[in-house]
Structure 1
Amino acid sequence: MSTIIQFENVGLRYGPGAETLSDISFSLVTGGFYFLTGTSGAGKTSLLKLLYLAQRPSRGVLRLFGEDVVMLHRSRLPGFRRRIGVVFQDFRLVPHLSTYDNIALPLRVAGLGEDRIAEPVREMMEWVGLGDRADARPATLSGGEQQRVAIARAVIGRPDILVADEPTGNVDPDMAQRLIGLFEALNRLGTTIVIATHDLPLISTIAHAQMMRLDKGRLIDPTGSLRYPPGHAPAPVEEGRA
């Protein structure tokens, strides 16, 4: 399988202080399913920002789709970003758009006509349990409902990479399993999945997934590619917002 994401000695620093991420090196393959764990402040959200191109590394090499994005011309970034679906921890829904229009947004940005948008959006709303909330604005939705809209929007365009920050943190266990099933279905279609989470019992339900763990801005094994086989994950840790 080909490499879709590659970090080589990547560091990230915000301002003049110490690095938030240091000497990060790993490779992820096309169609892989990965969980990223670590205590609060370990750097998980910062690592995800590098993956969806909200930040560029302060040093090192970051390759996506075989290209060095550190050196990528700014004009090419939008095209790369359209290949990456993102589920943000704070949802980031467009407040004046309905549930339907928030979910349809990536398809419209990609240039699809309305005749090709309606059916997949309606099907997606049913899948995430929001079939009766098509016209609702984000302010009228519960936190769990907003989370489901954010997930539906991220996966509707079948991205090459899906990056998700605590995607099941605001839903009940049954819905969490249903959403993970949606990620698995997308993964079977070839999408590479990277999920930041502290829910180790949830991780254990995905037998083929691999896990990486951050500690104080570093991957905790020297090779930078620590992965635990199913059933051998470390004990749960207290988790907050990274």
Structure 2
Amino acid sequence: MSEATQEIVGFDNVGLRYGTGTEVLSDVSFTLFPGSFYFLTGASGAGKTSLLKLLYLAQRPSRGAIRMFGRDLITMPRDNLPRFRRRIGTVFQDFRMVEHLSAYDNVALPLRVAGVREADLAQPVTDMLEWVGLGHRSDARPATLSGGEKQRVAIARAVIGRPDLLVADEPTGNVDPEMALKLLRLFEALNRLGTTVVVATHDVHLLRAVKDSLIMRLDRGRLSDPTGALRYPPRPGPAARNAE
């Protein structure tokens, strides 16, 4: 199976409920392909955040099957999940900065948790801050950063480990339209390097901003067109594009 067609994530009839409440996600089925860019959209309360929690392994489904990176997550022992989480980058609307750490140390945090030596992380962290346009703000604490700067630090932290999958929950919700497009271009750049990107947004103006992006729409916990994101061939991953 070629890189362009094998799945990176597969959901089959997934349902999710919290406690004894009604299902917030019902019969959700879709496939994500390597090197593709997806927008997840829907009205407030449609279940976007709940679906993203399943994608970044913060929640397990109540029913159905989830495959990720070729493994069945439903039967996987919980002790194995941290290794899989390191292959997933997450960007949240509320930034989730560690307030007492500098921008540099916030970005370095995932590498330190993974056991990377200090001597080996200085260059990639510096390069990543330059990549998001914040090389001059590396010593700044979150309290002194603007909303757009905080979001760029959050993006740098999410992608410093070059994740296979990037999941972003309303990443442009706290910034102006110009900054929203700049942040989207950062996601595009990462996507061109081969990362599969999923961006949840309520901003319909962003849906046409990324060439070849695919749209998944949630309506009251269901994909309103479960095959809509797969109606067109996925964009080839970097290896396939380089071969063209």
- Could you say whether these structures have the same fold, taking a TM-score greater than 0.5 normalized by the shorter chain as the test? yes
Q: How does 1:126-205 map to 2 (within 5 A)?
A: 126-205=130-209
Q: RMSD over aligned Cα, in angstroms?
A: 1.8
Distance across 1 between alignment mates of 2:79 and 2:229: 35
- How far the C-alpha of 1:28 sits from its partner, in A, is 1.0
**What residue identity is the alignment partner of 2:80?**
R
Conservation of the 8 A alpha-carbon contact between 2:12 and 2:28: yes
Distance across 1 between alignment mates of 2:25 and 2:32: 18
Map of 1:113 onto structure 2:
117
Distance across 1 between alignment mates of 2:124 and 2:174: 24
Distance across 1 between alignment mates of 2:36 and 2:130: 26
- How far the C-alpha of 1:228 sits from its partner, in A, is 9.1
Q: How does 1:21-100 map to 2 (within 5 A)?
A: 21-100=25-104
- How far the C-alpha of 1:229 sits from its partner, in A, is 8.4
Map of 2:229 onto structure 1:
227
**What residue identity is the alignment partner of 1:196?**
A
Conservation of the 8 A alpha-carbon contact between 1:211 and 1:228: no
| Larger CA deviation: 120-129 vs 36-45 | 120-129
2:15 to 2, 11, 18: 11
Conservation of the 8 A alpha-carbon contact between 1:212 and 1:228: no
5+ unaligned residues in a row in structure 2: which ranges?
A: 233-244
| Larger CA deviation: 46-55 vs 99-108 | 99-108
Distance across 2 between alignment mates of 1:189 and 1:103: 19
Map of 2:235 onto structure 1:
none
Conservation of the 8 A alpha-carbon contact between 2:39 and 2:200: yes
| Larger CA deviation: 187-196 vs 42-51 | 187-196
Distance across 2 between alignment mates of 1:71 and 1:155: 28
- How far the C-alpha of 1:226 sits from its partner, in A, is 2.0
SS in structure 2 opposite 1:124?
helix
Conservation of the 8 A alpha-carbon contact between 1:106 and 1:153: yes
Conservation of the 8 A alpha-carbon contact between 2:93 and 2:172: no
Distance across 2 between alignment mates of 1:119 and 1:179: 22
Larger helix share, 1 or 2? 2
Map of 1:240 onto structure 2:
none
Distance across 2 between alignment mates of 1:208 and 1:117: 34
Map of 2:220 onto structure 1:
216
Conservation of the 8 A alpha-carbon contact between 2:31 and 2:230: no
5+ unaligned residues in a row in structure 1: which ranges?
A: 231-242
- How far the C-alpha of 1:58 sits from its partner, in A, is 0.4
- How far the C-alpha of 1:122 sits from its partner, in A, is 1.8
SS in structure 2 opposite 1:97?
coil
Residues 116/175 of structure 1: CA separation in 2 closer, same or farther (3 Å cut)? farther
**What residue identity is the alignment partner of 1:198?**
H
Distance across 1 between alignment mates of 2:27 and 2:179: 37
**What residue identity is the alignment partner of 1:7?**
F
Distance across 1 between alignment mates of 2:227 and 2:108: 36
SS in structure 1 opposite 2:229?
coil
TM-score computed with the length of structure 1 as normaliser: 0.88
Distance across 2 between alignment mates of 1:35 and 1:228: 13
Residues 229/178 of structure 1: CA separation in 2 closer, same or farther (3 Å cut)? farther
**Structure 1 moving runs of 4+ over 6 Å:** none
Determine what percentage of the aligned residue pairs are the same residue.
68
